[in-house]
Structure 1
Amino acid sequence: MSRRRDGSSSSTDDEIVTSEEGIRTLSRLMMMDDADTEEDISEAFMSDKSLGHKTIFMFPAIMEIRQQRAKVVAIGPYNHKEEMLYFGLDYKWQILKLMTQGFQLDTGKFLGNMAKKELELRNCYEEEVEDLYQMATKDFLQIMLLDGCFILFALKCLDGKNQSSFDTVELFLSKFQGLGNAIVIYQLITNVKNLVSQLEMHRESVICDLLLMENQIPFSVLQELLCLCPDFRDFVGSSIKDLALSSFKCVRPKMNKELSEQPEEFLHLLDVFHWSRVPEDKYKLIDNQINNQTMPGVSMLRATEFHHSGVRLKRKKSGSYLDVVIKNSSSKKDCVIKVPAIDIKNYQFSIFESLVTFEERYEKRGVCFTAFVECMASLLGSENDAKLLQKCGIIPKDTDTSDDYVIKFFHQLSHCIKPVALMPHPYEGYKSAVDRVRETVEKSKATEARCWFRF
């Protein structure tokens, strides 16, 4: 049993709303106890700082060279006032109508369950943002509902199976045949064709927008939606993580086939993407970090400087695309730096921005992307460095981006990274390898270091 603003009771938990007006009305219900008001919830939220880390936040001022924000879709409370993007509220209401009519989503129960977790959900967002505190419960829950449905629908339409939009529409329509209402089926067919075709036209931009830091919503919202919509769960599968990874196949850097053991729970889609790209045993090494200690005197040389010192640069052919390995072998009397192939697309800058920002503000996920950015910025000091890496096969010769763009890509990102006093394992191996390269090509001791972390 839930209560409206006027205090009248409404038994909506078990209802399935099928009309658009019904959905709008339902989204405005206040799912709280008699003693609770919006002011009570706001006050409790402002005073409670113990619920955990802020894992979703606005773009920080430290990264001043922001090139772009969302291009086609705004997600979450930070961007709820955006009206100029392609997939706006009308589009999201159509998806919600599809989920309720075609897949029997229990919106009443979803809103009731989310109301009970409102403080927890709000606490995922950065506390300094005033608009978030002032947002009414009904508006906050409506955002979670509309944007959560959009994300699930978009991930299904844009998964990496390379099927045509026609095939995707046919898959959806096959689920509607048992509804029995010809008018409803006709409306659903028309809506699905329109919704899928528009997403297909903006595939790359949608995926990139879904990976922006301030465009995240808590992963638990998506899980709750899928739990309360069994017909859609049967359609897309029970794993949001697998559905997301399939949709991310078109995005660089590519997924590491040797995945780390996943965290106990994912925070949001950006967290899933981050986990799927980092080195295999990255999570195991986080506990080995040396905290509150600065290790001076560690720096990379430029690619040409390594080359002139007799160090061989080779393209790394396996493992993570962020794992730069320095090997110093006494038996072969040489030093090798293995660097993964750099395949930079024009959209990647905004994704790297979000990933580096996420690592800076949420330390539990390590700093693998940050370390890779700083490492590449050190290697790529000039066009000669870029040409050398191109000669080694690290930068593809047929890339659409110029050497100058590749250099600026990493340097612009590295200039925005806030220094931290952390030095993770294996510091000694890395420092030894670099120091010996500077002194002489002759090696007296075998060492190896991997640039997974910031140094």
Structure 2
Amino acid sequence: MEKEMEVLSNQNLEEKEADFHAIRIVEGESNWSTLMEKKRKQKPRLLRKSEGNISCCIFRVPQSLVEINKKAYQPHIVSIGPYHHGKVHLKMIQEHKWRLLDTLIARTENQGVCLDDYFKAIASKEESIRECYSEAIDLNSNEFVEMMVLDGCFIVEILCIVGKIVQNDPKDPIFNMRWVFPFLMRDLLRLENQIPFFVLQTLFDMYMTSLDKEGPSLAQLALDSFDYVTERPTEVLQRYYNVKAVHLLDLFRLSFIPQSKGSNEKNYLRDGMKDSVSTTIPSAQRLHVAGIKFKPRKSDSISLLDIKFDNGVLEIPPLAIDDSISSFFLNCVAFEQCYSDCSKHITSYTTFMSCLIRKPSDVGFLSDQNVIENDFGTDKEIVRFFSNISKDVPFDFQQSYLFKLFEDVNEHCRNKWHVRWADFKYTYFNTPWSFISALAATFLLVLTMIQAFFAIYAYVLPLSPH
């Protein structure tokens, strides 16, 4: 009986305890709030608050873009700046940086400008330089300034050699080995491989002043050196010698932005158009079937991005696509996605090209029209490139400098008369044989009509009164 009472009392106790939530206070856990306080106050290091500032202009490429084409964003032989600093596979050129720095200092020391002067000039700007990077840099002050001086002087010396400001050692392996220089110049135009332009300008000004020489500006030297990619005439490049750039990639990007009227980016959307806006156009071959003619816009004064559509004719400056220009496009698109204080011209252009090029046959057609020169690979590889470059890229089409062109092209395609007339010409006048067949059919039709006329006339004439 006592055992039964004990069991019942235990059951009642368990039922009562079930109505409450047990709270355990464990010794040592009272400092959680202190730990949480530290974490709440800790500043982000990988995506800092300063990234929203105009001063922040050097970014890690978004992971979504890296996954599509990692090789396009990683330096192959030289590191510039902190993001790839110290990587083993870049050691070869890292050793040559010291050699070129020694050569540079040897020239300026005689004029009273020594290595300490360069270090002091950059050290005074350290805080501003760090603010240019989207990530916190894990280098102390001495290491950071040393890296900036070494990398900056390396670039200045390279540009002065290419621009023939100074004489180069003919046995210099950087210039003597043909494979090194193109890879080096390509690496200098990668987004993650940049240092602020004002760092280069500071070092360049000190260098040129010490040499007591009057020569081209830093922007001119850089544009002339990098233009081996597109080989534009001097009269085109000189328009951009005074542009304000945040780094070398931005400088070269700006030199492609058209200066013609109507090329600026703004909101082109008119009232009542919001529901009818199309963010794409048909492929090159479909546009051809719709009656649109393609014409290479050849002129020494025309920018690569200066595309024109008028009276059913789409004029596109010829594009010679190779590894260098494709790498440049990819890094420009990444930069335009990250930096809020720049236009999206390259993104607009590559989006336009990705619309035109959907199939290998589109590449072949544009090549036949002298719009594209394929130095990149197979036609299929070009299709894949333009398809990938527009993937996972947020893009406000209403702000694009090509918005009106897209609207005009789509309006042309919506006009059924244009499509039917183009289809008629394609069917009957596409080849000499189809033209001859159509002409013969027309001739037979006319003869048949004449024969019918005289047959009727001969039948009706006898019945007529004389």
Same fold by TM (over 0.5)? yes
Is structure 2 residue 234 aligned with structure 1 residue 229? no
Is structure 2 residue 324 aligned with structure 1 residue 347? yes
Residue identity opposite 2:330 in structure 1: E
Task: Show the counterpart of 1:185.
Answer: none
Unaligned 5+ segments in structure 1 are 1-41, 162-167, 174-188, 330-334, 444-455
User: Do the aligned residues in 2 keep the contact of 1:290 with 1:425 (CA within 8 Å)?
Assistant: no
Listed one character per residue, the Cα deviations across residues 419-447 of structure 1 (whole Å, up to 9, x for unaligned) are: 3364345745641442232323549xxxx
Distance in 2 (CA, whole Å) between partners of 1:418 and 1:223 is: 33
Listed one character per residue, the Cα deviations across residues 285-311 of structure 1 (whole Å, up to 9, x for unaligned) are: 2456669x9773231111111111111
SS in 2 for 1:228: helix
Task: Kindly report which structure 2 residues correspond to 1:89-104, keeping only aligned pairs within 5 A, or say none.
Answer: 89-104=94-109
Task: Show the counterpart of 2:125.
Answer: 117
Q: Of the two, which has the highest radius of gyration?
A: 2
Distance in 1 (CA, whole Å) between partners of 2:264 and 2:325 is: 27
Is structure 2 residue 335 aligned with structure 1 residue 358? yes
Residue identity opposite 1:124 in structure 2: C
User: Do the aligned residues in 2 keep the contact of 1:255 with 1:276 (CA within 8 Å)?
Assistant: no
User: Do the aligned residues in 2 keep the contact of 1:290 with 1:424 (CA within 8 Å)?
Assistant: no
Distance in 2 (CA, whole Å) between partners of 1:77 and 1:122 is: 10
Query: How many Å apart are 1:410 and its aligned residue?
Result: 1.0
The structure-2 alpha-carbon separation of the partners of 1:336 and 1:228, relative to structure 1 and needing over 3 Å to count, comes to same
Higher helix share: 2
The structure-2 alpha-carbon separation of the partners of 1:240 and 1:106, relative to structure 1 and needing over 3 Å to count, comes to same
Distance in 1 (CA, whole Å) between partners of 2:251 and 2:202 is: 17
The structure-2 alpha-carbon separation of the partners of 1:216 and 1:278, relative to structure 1 and needing over 3 Å to count, comes to same
Distance in 2 (CA, whole Å) between partners of 1:311 and 1:137 is: 60
How many residue pairs end up in the alignment? 363
Give the share of equivalent positions with the same residue, in percent. 26
Distance in 1 (CA, whole Å) between partners of 2:202 and 2:144 is: 16
Residue identity opposite 1:437 in structure 2: C
Residue identity opposite 1:304 in structure 2: Q
User: Do the aligned residues in 2 keep the contact of 1:309 with 1:441 (CA within 8 Å)?
Assistant: no
The structure-2 alpha-carbon separation of the partners of 1:198 and 1:92, relative to structure 1 and needing over 3 Å to count, comes to farther
Is structure 2 residue 351 aligned with structure 1 residue 374? yes
The structure-2 alpha-carbon separation of the partners of 1:427 and 1:396, relative to structure 1 and needing over 3 Å to count, comes to closer
2:228 to 250, 259, 270: 250
SS in 1 for 2:90: coil
User: Do the aligned residues in 2 keep the contact of 1:56 with 1:214 (CA within 8 Å)?
Assistant: yes
Residue identity opposite 2:69 in structure 1: R
Query: How many Å apart are 1:265 and its aligned residue?
Result: 2.4
Listed one character per residue, the Cα deviations across residues 145-170 of structure 1 (whole Å, up to 9, x for unaligned) are: 000011011123334x8xxxxxx9xx
Query: How many Å apart are 1:107 and its aligned residue?
Result: 2.6
SS in 1 for 2:313: strand
TM-score (norm 1): 0.70
TM-score (norm 2): 0.69
Task: Kindly report which structure 2 residues correspond to 1:283-298, keeping only aligned pairs within 5 A, or say none.
Answer: 285-286=264-265, 296-298=277-279
Unaligned 5+ segments in structure 2 are 1-43, 420-466
Query: How many Å apart are 1:102 and its aligned residue?
Result: 2.3
Residue identity opposite 2:378 in structure 1: S
Is structure 2 residue 258 aligned with structure 1 residue 279? yes
1:154 to 137, 151, 158: 158
SS in 2 for 1:343: strand
Distance in 1 (CA, whole Å) between partners of 2:357 and 2:290 is: 16
Distance in 2 (CA, whole Å) between partners of 1:59 and 1:256 is: 32
